[in-house]
Amino acid sequence: MASSRRGLLLAFLLSSLPAMSVAAPPQNDPYIWLEQISSPESLQWVEKENSRSLAVLETDPRYAGLYADAVKIAEATDRIPMPNQIGDQITNFWQDANHVHGIWRTTTPASYASATPQWRTLLDLDALSTAEKTGWVWKGANCEPVGERLCLLNLSNGGEDATTQREFDLGSAAMVPNGFTLPTSKQNLTWESADSLLVARDWGPGTMTASSYPFVVKRLRRGQPLEQAVEIFRGKSTDVSADPNSFVDGQGNRLTVIERGVTFFESELFAVDGAKTTKLDLPTKFRLQGFAANQLLLRIDQDWKGLKAGSLVGYRIANGKVAEQQLIFAPGPRQSIDEVSTTRGHVLAVIYDNVRGQALSFAPGASGWTAKRIPLPDNASIGIVSTDRLSEDAYLNVQSFTVPTTLWLADAAQASAREIKAMPGRFNAAGLVTEQFEATSKDGTKIPYFIVHRADIKYDGSTPTLLNAYGGFQVSETPVYQSTRGKLWLEKGGAYVLANIRGGGEFGPAWHEAGLKTKRQVIYDDFASVAEDLIKRRITSPRRLGIYGGSNGGLLMGVEMTQRPDLWNAVAIEIPLLDMLRYEQLSAGSSWVGEYGSMSVPAERAFWEKTSPYQALRRDGKYPEPFIWTTTKDDRVGPVQARKFAARMKEYGLPYLYWENTEGGHAAGANLKQAARAIALEMTYFTRKLMDPVEPPSAR
């Protein structure tokens, strides 16, 4: 799911419902037992389903080659080691064939800029996993922002969102003796000082929401056991979560805030001053973007005090109050703010204009903020890789569908940039073209989409084509270089399509809000309209068209399969939501009520009663045989909705393939080989369905 926060919660729902409680298992659902994720019965079912489906896919004569290519790309040592600036050093987390769990390492900026950086290993996660008999998965490091030497390592067992936090000394490259150690929990924390943390975590009964996120924040001082931490903030049990954040800008100004996530898209912000927390007069729909020039940076997602939704705004906070509001950037009608980061004296922002990226550097001044565009390649996706509060250096990546990722070193003060590293091509892009078209959705809205295909395709509907989208949570989908799909699909003559449907953030908050809750059918109509446009243009045909998507995109695939089975011959449903009548009771589901609605609201329940894929399946449905896959350790969406969907298809005698990876969290795998296996299985499935002259028999 796009994020772990926000949404109305089960406690509120239960208190407001009539006798028909949404927590009660539906009496007509015979597969509730599969919701017991690790029960012997459930795992036995998984093992049986895996064996059946893998016997089909892994014995296909093309699988071994596809898997070998996927592993080679995943473990390639000539990848760009993406930098993370911490003080005067560059750190990087690296995995390859010799480092399955990975190593955390460091070098100097000068060495990093060379062709062969000289790395010093900070932490060997393989050695730690072996010593502790735990499959540790790296979830990043949270470093104290002033001294930039002490870091809290986020370590996950098998890829879960829940992590263990351990204090690490960058100078000695070792865990801090008797340092901060926080046992496993879904937790949010920030450095208040070198000797004090603000921590939101599971403090015991009554401190976690029904979404399984914390809403109580405590101050933990060095040397204190957890039970002596002092509470400074408590949200409500009906909230989604509480997130403490402590910021330091390039001039040393400091601001500590706590964000109370009331729903997934609505929050309150509190300034922290010792034991006192004060609510700030700010919009309720916003995204925290950082702190610069003594201003708290927000992307506001609603109109607010003369400023339009989608704008980047700086707020000066003084004495627990908003003392000043300054507009930094207001996007146009086809623009959106994708990423924001800060340097010593500037704010960097990636802006998308009709889904094409550009980077701007903003400088504060007496009359407000002024912008300069950083010269970078056009018609590409741009990402902010790393910045540091004491430097004007920033690392940016640039990529497109057919141009491999390049890394640029930018000077935010000069608004200049130079390419310093480039990833070699992973597939043969010769003869490929990228085009952007528009489809007309059911209500007349124009839906842009990109297509990558061979220049010499025949416009007779014969091109095997994969169509992908996400359509939710204001997440923007942009043109990125997909090494493995390029090698396993484009190079073999297939076409790839990315649809910028509503529900995403490509054109700002209004594009997202157009498909919220009971308005969600427009998202599904948008996706179908792109397919119809591809078929009308005779680029492909239903026989040669396949679709895939994960998480919220997996829900999209389930709806499209049940609503428009006539449009596609293959559907890959990845780590999905599918039982929308019970999603609030499963894993972190109740945090997403702001996106999907609640079954306690009659109109919202009525919408999902006819739209939820699990309930929409019919015995006599003429569906394509889907490939449904998920992961056991996903503690965000969870594997149970995919399980139940497959079990219902089996009950109805409908063809399907099902695979569940036992590790990986809300992702394809816990390491590079697992991720490669997932995509190789999926591409084997698509090859069988869309490229073969005669469709192989279904596996029932």
Active-site residue numbers?
551, 666
Asked whether the CA dihedral 486, 491, 492, 493 is positive or negative, the reply is positive
Q: What is the dihedral of CA 374, 380, 385, 389, to 10 degrees?
A: 20
* Residue written as token pair 């997932």: 678
Say if CB 546 and CB 567 are below 8 A apart. no
Structure tokens at 202: 């599971």
Structure tokens at 191: 């450095």
Say if CB 282 and CB 271 are below 8 A apart. no
Say if CB 323 and CB 279 are below 8 A apart. no
- Torsions phi, psi of 330, nearest 5? -115, 120
Distances from the Cα of 394 to the Cαs of 348, 349, 363, in angstroms? Answer: 9, 11, 15
Say if CB 159 and CB 184 are below 8 A apart. no
List residues bridging with 337 in a β-sheet: 351
* Residue written as token pair 């080691």: 81
CA 13, CA 33: separation in Å to the nearest integer?
A: 23
* Residue written as token pair 């940016």: 396
CA 417, CA 409: separation in Å to the nearest integer?
A: 5
b/e code 509-541 from CB counts within 10 Å (16+ = b): bebbbbbbbbebbbbbbbbbbbbbbbbeeebbb
CA 367, CA 620: separation in Å to the nearest integer?
A: 67
Give the side-chain half-sphere CA count within 13 A for 366. Answer: 0
CA 435, CA 497: separation in Å to the nearest integer?
A: 10
CA 241, CA 663: separation in Å to the nearest integer?
A: 26
Q: How many other C-beta atoms are found inside a 10 Å radius of the C-beta of residue 388?
A: 23
Distances from the Cα of 31 to the Cαs of 34, 203, 324, 633, 647, in angstroms? Answer: 6, 33, 56, 19, 7
Say if CB 312 and CB 340 are below 8 A apart. yes
CA 587, CA 595: separation in Å to the nearest integer?
A: 16
Say if CB 180 and CB 165 are below 8 A apart. yes
- Torsions phi, psi of 129, nearest 5? -65, -40
Structure tokens at 417: 């940039």
